[in-house]
């Protein structure tokens, strides 16, 4: 088995940052323990940056911006192709890092976390090759130009996936970047920095500084030489970043929290859509901002839904991430594990019907941050488990009496990131989708589309990632009159 910690330690990269084309010693001396959530053992220590480290990385990105932004699309596409190829070549090493740092079941890391992350790089490259950076409008030219130096702040739940979703389009647009990955899952980010270096990324174009949000994140967001901040994280973190960025009037793109609905219409095929809905809600242990954790179902079919949902959850195998049969590993960190336990107990106290699961670890597991896949039914919209983002394997089933009521329940949230609709009558399915206030809606469990823009309404954020729209976030618009005179 490939050991990512040993690899990074022998390379000397655990306690360094990647700045200006080389691995640099940090200015500060603070360290952070990386914990394997399956065992709760400390497996590594990383360096934690400070304002001086952000200054070095940001100035390196500023120096590199002009030459990089003036490269041709073909040159930038060539770099992205090399990075894409190296991610796939080192897929097993990265998968083992994800298993170690966040407890991802190894088969899930191999089948989803790594290949989907690689897709963001491919899409950024492909969109770059056909993007109209100069377009005529009469005698005026509409130019799309790189916005500048971009600070990228990524979360712990989809570590590499969120990095490539930002770095790929930013570099494609001609921007330079400073990345702050989550300190809770830093190993895959360090491996990605190695890939950027080995792919021949010019010095200063890509920089990485590990650290905390209040120190490194705030320093990046407030830095006058940063032109844009893109953050994926909690709504609270997004607000703090926007506040820090406001005095310098920089662009802020936010992909934040969610409490996504899954409307099951009266004519839906329950045998198909309920297992798919449960699996979607608990994908990645429910540690996904767009997880459809509110299943909204016809009251007349509630008993059928409960039985199918319980049967599906009972088939999950929670355990050792290295186990071949394991479908779900541990929760990624202690704070999140405790949050999930608190919310399960809250659901019980609120009077929701516990269909399966509950507080504590699954039977037969005595150590590690393992949670029981939990389903509540007879949930009301005023209950905390229906309103608050739990970010764990907890599904709330809410009954409705009319389709109009289902839509009202779906929209009765401060969030608006994702949504799902299931039904047989496609005219009705499309109509319902059009009435949901969310940035991305899935109809009848379609295949993932890396070109479909992703982002939120309301407190789920602003801006879009993925596809062409994801690259446009990193571009400014300039009109040049008389260009074609």
One-character DSSP codes across 111-145: IIIHHHHHHHHHHHHHHHHH--SEEEETTEEEEEE
Which helix (H) or strand (E) covers residue 324, if one does?
none
pTM exceeds 0.95: yes
The confidence score (pLDDT) of residue 132 equals 96
Residues in the chain, total: 485
Tens digits of residue pLDDT in 362-411: 999 999 999 999 999 999 999 999 999 999 999 999 999 999 999 999 99
pLDDT less than 50: residues of the chain: none
Phi, psi of 210 (to 5 degrees): -80, 155
The confidence score (pLDDT) of residue 253 equals 98
Name, in order, each residue with C-beta under 8 angstroms of 450's C-beta and a sequence gap of 6 or more: 116, 119, 120, 122, 123, 466, 467
Question: What is residue 461's three-state secondary structure?
Answer: strand
Tokens, residue 235 = 């709504």
Tokens, residue 339 = 């949050």
β-strands 22-24, 17-19 pairing: antiparallel
Tokens, residue 133 = 């950076």
Residues with catalytic annotation? 255, 289
- Signed CA dihedral, 290, 293, 296, 302: sign only: positive
The distance from CA 310 to its chain's CA centroid, rounded to whole angstroms, is: 27
- How far apart CA 234 and CA 87 sit, in angstroms, is 27
- How far apart CA 11 and CA 2 sit, in angstroms, is 14
Tens digits of residue pLDDT in 332-348: 999 999 999 999 999 99
Q: Residue 398: name the closest of 416, 414, 385, 415 by CA.
A: 385
Q: Where are the beta strands (DSSP E) in 359-427?
A: 374-377, 394-400, 418-422
The distance from CA 46 to its chain's CA centroid, rounded to whole angstroms, is: 22
Q: Residue 440: name the closest of 462, 459, 461, 457 by CA.
A: 457
Question: What is residue 261's three-state secondary structure?
Answer: strand
Q: Looking at 131-252, list the stretches that DSSP marks H as alpha helix, in order from N- to C-terminal side.
A: 159-173, 187-198, 218-222, 235-245
8 A C-beta contact, residue 396 and residue 260: no
β-strands 440-443, 418-422 pairing: parallel
Burial 427-445 (b: 16+ CB within 10 A, else e): eebeebbebbebbbbbebb
Burial 213-223 (b: 16+ CB within 10 A, else e): bebbbbbbbbb
Q: Looking at 292-416, list the stretches that DSSP marks H as alpha helix, in order from N- to C-terminal side.
A: 302-314, 334-349, 384-387, 403-411
The confidence score (pLDDT) of residue 28 equals 85
The confidence score (pLDDT) of residue 1 equals 82
- How far apart CA 102 and CA 155 sit, in angstroms, is 11
Domains of the chain: 4-256+461-480 (3.40.605.10), 261-449 (3.40.309.10)
């Amino acid at each position: 088995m490939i050991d990512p910690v040993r690899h990074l330690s022998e390379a000397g990269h655990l306690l360094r940052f990647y700045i200006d084309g080389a691995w640099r010693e940090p200015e500060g001396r603070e360290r952070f323990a990386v914990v394997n959530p399956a065992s709760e053992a400390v497996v590594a220590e990383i360096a934690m940056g400070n304002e001086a480290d952000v200054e070095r990385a940001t100035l390196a990105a500023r120096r590199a911006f002009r030459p990089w932004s003036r490269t041709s699309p073909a040159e930038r596409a060539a770099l992205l192709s090399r990075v894409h190829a190296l991610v796939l070549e080192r897929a097993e090493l990265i998968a083992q890092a994800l298993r170690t740092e966040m407890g991802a079941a190894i088969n899930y890391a191999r089948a989803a976390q790594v290949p989907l992350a690689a897709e963001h790089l491919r899409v950024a490259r492909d969109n770059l090759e056909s993007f109209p950076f100069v377009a005529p409008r009469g005698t005026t030219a509409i130019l799309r130009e790189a916005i500048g130096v971009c600070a990228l702040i990524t979360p712990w739940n989809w570590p590499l996936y969120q990095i490539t979703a930002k770095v790929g389009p930013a570099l494609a647009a001609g921007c330079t970047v400073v990345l702050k990955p989550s300190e809770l899952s830093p190993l895959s980010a360090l491996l990605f920095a190695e890939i950027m270096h080995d792919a021949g990324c010019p010095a200063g174009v890509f920089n990485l500084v590990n650290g905390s949000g209040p120190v490194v994140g705030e320093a990046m967001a407030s830095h006058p030489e940063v032109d844009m901040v893109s953050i994926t994280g909690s709504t609270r973190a997004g607000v703090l970043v926007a506040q820090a960025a406001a005095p310098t009037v920089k662009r802020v793109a936010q992909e934040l929290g969610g409490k996504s609905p899954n409307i099951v219409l009266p004519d839906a095929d329950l045998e198909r859509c309920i297992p798919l809905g449960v699996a979607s809600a608990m994908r990645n242990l429910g540690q996904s901002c767009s997880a459809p954790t509110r299943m909204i179902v016809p009251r007349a079919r509630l008993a059928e839904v409960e039985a199918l949902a319980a049967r599906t959850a009972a088939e999950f195998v929670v355990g050792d991430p290295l186990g071949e049969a394991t479908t779900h590993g541990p929760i990624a960190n202690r704070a999140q594990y405790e949050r999930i336990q608190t919310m399960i107990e809250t659901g019980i106290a609120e009077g929701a019907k516990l269909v399966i699961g509950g507080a504590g670890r699954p039977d037969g597991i005595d150590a590690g941050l393992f949670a029981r896949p939990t389903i509540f039914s007879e949930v009301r919209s005023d209950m905390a488990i229906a309103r608050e983002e739990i970010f764990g394997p907890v599904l709330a089933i809410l009954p409705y009496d009319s389709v109009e009521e289902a839509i009202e329940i779906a929209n009765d949230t401060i969030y608006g990131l994702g949504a799902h609709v299931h039904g047989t009558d496609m005219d009705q399915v499309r109509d319902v989708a059009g009435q949901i206030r969310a940035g991305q809606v899935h109809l009848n469990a379609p295949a993932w589309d890396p070109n479909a823009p992703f982002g939120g309404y309301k407190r789920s954020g602003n801006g879009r990632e993925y596809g062409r729209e994801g690259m446009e976030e990193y571009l400014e618009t300039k009109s040049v009159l008389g260009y074609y005179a």
